[in-house]
Amino acid sequence: MEANNTTDKNISWLKSGWWLILLVAAGIAAPYVISEFYLLILGEALIMSLFALSFNLLFGHMGQLPFGQAAFYGLGGYGIAMLMTKFQINFWLSFLAGIGLAALAGLIIGIFCVRLRGIYFSILTLAFGQLIFVIIYKWHDFTGGDDGIQGVFPPEFLKTPIAYYYFVLLVFCIAAFILWRITNSPFGYILKAMRENSERTEFLGIPIARYQLTAFVISAAFAGLAGALWAPFYRSVAPSTLMWIKSGEPVMATILGGAGLFFGPVLGTFIITFFHAYILGFTHFWAIIMGTLILIVIFFLPGGILGFIKEKIDNRKKTDQ
Partner 1 sequence: MSFDVLFNQFLSGIARGALLFLVASGLSLTFGVLRVLNFAHGSLYMLGAFLSYSIWKWLLIPVYGFYVATLLSALVIAGIGLLIEYTILRRLYARGWPEQLLATYALILIITDIVKWFWGGEFLSIPRPEPFTKAVFLFGFPFPSYNFFIIILGLVLVFFLWWLVYKTRLGDIIRAAAHDRDMVSALGIPIPWLFTSIFVLGAFIAGLSGAVTAPYGAIALGMDIEIIVECFAVVVIGGMGSLPGTLLGSFIVGQVYSFGIMYKPELALAFIFMVMAIVLVIRPWGIFGRPER
Cβ neighbour number for residue 12 with a 10 Å cutoff: 9
Q: Which of 85, 94, 130, 183 binds partner 1 (CB under 8 A)?
A: 130
Give the chain's radius of gyration (CA, Å).
19
What CA–CA distance (Å, rounded) separates 153 from 146? Answer: 20
- Tell me if 112 contacts partner 1 by CB under 8 A: yes
CA distance 89 to 151: 13
Residue at 43: amino acid letter: G
CB 168, min distance to partner 1, A: 27
Binding test (CB under 8 A) with partner 1, winner from 81, 101, 252, 267: 252
3-class DSSP assignment, residue 196: helix
d(CA 218, CA 143): 25
The yes or no reply on residue 163 touching partner 1 (CB under 8 A) is: no
Tell me the sheet residues that pair with 237.
149
The contact mask relative to partner 1 for 47-76 (x = CB under 8 A, - = no) is ------------x-----x-x---------
Q: Could you tell me how many residues of this chain bind partner 1 (CB under 8 A)?
A: 40
Q: Facing residues of 236 across strands?
A: 150
Asked if 280 touches partner 1 (CB under 8 A), the answer is no
Query: Does residue 298 touch partner 1 according to CB under 8 A?
Result: yes
Q: Output the smallest distance, CB 310 to partner 1, in A.
A: 18
Question: Exactly one of 46, 58, 83, 124 binds partner 1 (CB under 8 A); which one?
Answer: 124
- DSSP state, residue 6: G
Residues 83-115, buried b or exposed e (16+ Cβ, 10 A)?
A: bbbeeeeebeebbebbbbbbbbbbeebbeebbe
Query: Is the Cβ of residue 158 or residue 195 nearer to partner 1 in the bound state?
Result: 195
Kindly state whether residue 251 participates in binding partner 1, applying the rule CB under 8 A: yes
3-class DSSP assignment, residue 149:
strand
CB 201, min distance to partner 1, A: 14
Query: Should residue 287 be labelled a site residue for partner 1 when binding is judged by CB under 8 A?
Result: yes
Q: Does 288 bind partner 1 (CB under 8 A)?
A: yes
Residue 292 interacting with partner 1 (CB under 8 A): yes
Contacts of 113 (CB under 8 A, 6+ apart): 66, 121, 124, 125, 128, 216
Indicate the angle between helix axes 69-86 and 119-138, nearest 10 degrees: 20
- Asked whether position 209 contacts partner 1 by CB under 8 A, the answer is no
* Smallest distance from partner 1 to CB 34, Å: 29
Residue 248 binds to partner 1 (criterion: CB under 8 A): yes
The residue from 127, 163, 173, 277 that contacts partner 1 (CB under 8 A) is: 127
20, 40, 116, 313: which one contacts partner 1 (CB under 8 A)? 116
Which regions of the chain does DSSP assign to beta strands (E)? Answer: 149-150, 236-237
Nearer of residues 43 and 239 to partner 1, judged by Cβ: 239
Round to whole Å and give the CA distance between 177 and 137: 34
CA 224 to CA 222: how far, in whole Å?
5
Min CB(12)–partner 1 separation in Å: 28
Q: According to the binding rule CB under 8 A, does residue 253 interact with partner 1?
A: no
Nearest CA to 58 out of 19, 4, 17 is that of 4
Q: Does 299 bind partner 1 (CB under 8 A)?
A: yes
Question: What distance in Å separates the CA atoms of residue 251 and residue 255, rounded to the nearest whole number?
Answer: 6
Query: Where along the sequence are the contacts to partner 1 (CB under 8 A)?
Result: 1, 59, 65, 67, 112, 115-116, 118-120, 122-124, 126-128, 130-131, 134-135, 138-139, 243-245, 248, 251-252, 255, 285, 287-288, 290-292, 294-295, 298-299, 302
